[in-house]
Copies of this chain bind each other. A is one copy, B any other.
Amino acid sequence: MQNHSLVPEPSAELLQLAFDVRRAALSLGHTTLDQRRSSLMKIAESLSTRSREIVAANKEDLDRSEADGLTSALMARLKLDESKLEGAIEGLRRLARLPDPLGHRQLHRKLDEDLVLERVTVPLGVLGVIFEARPDALIQIAALAICSGNGAILKGGSEASRSNEVIMKALKHGLSSSAVSPETLALLTTRQESQALLRLDGLVDLIIPRGSNELVRFIQENTHIPVLGHADGICHLYIDSDADIDQALRITVDSKTQYPAACNAIETLLVHEKVAETFLNKMVPELSNLGVRLLGDDLSQSFGVKMLANEEDWSTEYLGLTLSIKVVDSLGAALEHIRRYGSRHTESIVTSNKETAEIFLRSVDSAGVYHNCSTRFADGFRYGFGAEVGISTQTLPPRGPVGLEGLVTYKYLLRGNGHISADFSSGMKSFSHIDLPL
């Protein structure tokens, strides 16, 4: 819940800006796929033409941030060199090849003679995007918005202000020679505006945060606009008593070390006591060799884990080479631990027992539940969605990795010929409810 003093009321200027974006978005929603695709290509061209200018602006941001003492991790994310920019532009071209998320008919039903109901996908309206550091995110998110027919109000971190400014200029210039209005996109520059954005209920339809867990949590707690994303990714891997030990080793190493900063990397390894000795005697030295710092419960200490995990560790997302290990006496204990400490992101079981696997798949209430594979597969590209907007750990759809379909909604269209409800209430007519081809 929110503290009012944290989030200021939107100014008249911000309301006007949001209103203008909304109006432009309405026209965008009526463009054809070809028009949206061609606008993406114009943007790509415009960015290519200005690549030198963009890299130079980014250099200014880097110099200033270095002087300000930005951490090296953030410096790495802030940096936008020729090749990273090329990658982002290539991303635009890939996006332009994806199928249209708009205009899908999801339901087509004859309610009565000449009374036909349709449910078709339409854009959400306006996205509010708050992102940190990475200026290439601006390119990606603006393109996702256009692709899905939505306007976007974006706010980047102050450390990337020069980069974002020059990129936004390039984006708008690209749009100006396309069927999509440059007013579809707007960049906010002050912190106050980005907070007031959270209060634009009715003008902004979805907030997309891209940044630290703290940023996401702050946003979730301070807006009534739906938020796409997740604060924590506390993923678990459970090594069952019937696990194939070689598979368990490979999957553990991959789930923890293949890219530990990702939300789908595991933070906790649960090991059934029956295989704890065999498994951990191999796993502990292997992970240590890979530089993984291991914490564990009492039992795990007998298998080479040296540091004791405290209560807080079980609900900490390390985002780095740290792993908590717990020895459990049953599948039930593993499920209970996940229920208690998990963040409903992605959990996996390693077992050769199909029945145990099915109980796990059924019982774990997370966006992704896996059997005999790495948690690192939780990703829109790997799922085959072509683009990823984010990964949602909320209960309601869209849940899990979200592709372009997370940026659209639907509306019902009903076409009649003078139909009135009284005829059906009186019993003179009755609904046929015949599904027609989609």
Contacts and interface: CB of A to CB of B under 8 A. Distances in A.
A123 to B, nearest CB: 9
Interface string A360-404: 011101111111111011100011100000000011110111000
Interface stretch (A38-46, A179-187, A413-421): A413-421
Q: Which of A221, A367, A376, A418 has the most CB of B within 10 A?
A: A418
A83 interface: no
Ordered nearest first, which 3 A-B pairs have the shortest CB separation? A373-B416, A254-B420, A376-B421
Given A115-B373, A418-B373, A400 B411 contact: yes
21 contacts: A26-B363, A117-B383, A119-B400, A220-B224, A247-B417, A250-B420, A253-B420, A255-B420, A259-B421, A370-B414, A370-B416, A371-B414, A371-B415, A372-B415, A372-B416, A372-B417, A373-B415, A373-B420, A374-B419, A397-B397, A397-B409
Q: Is the interface of A mostly helix, strand, loop or mixed?
A: mixed
A111 B382 contact: yes
A97 interface: no
A199 interface: yes
Contact of A409 (B226, B396, B411): B396
Sorting the interface of chain A by its residue count into under 10, 10 to 19, 20 to 34 or 35 or more gives 35 or more
A308 interface: no
A395 B22 CA distance: 14
Contact of A125 (B4, B365, B371): B365
A293 interface: no
A418 B382 contact: no
A377 B415 contact: no
A318 to B, nearest CB: 18
A401 B258 CA distance: 45
A433 B422 CA distance: 50
A327 interface: no
A195 to B, nearest CB: 12
Interface in A206-232: 206, 220-221, 224, 226
A109 interface: yes
Contacts of A419: 372-374, 377
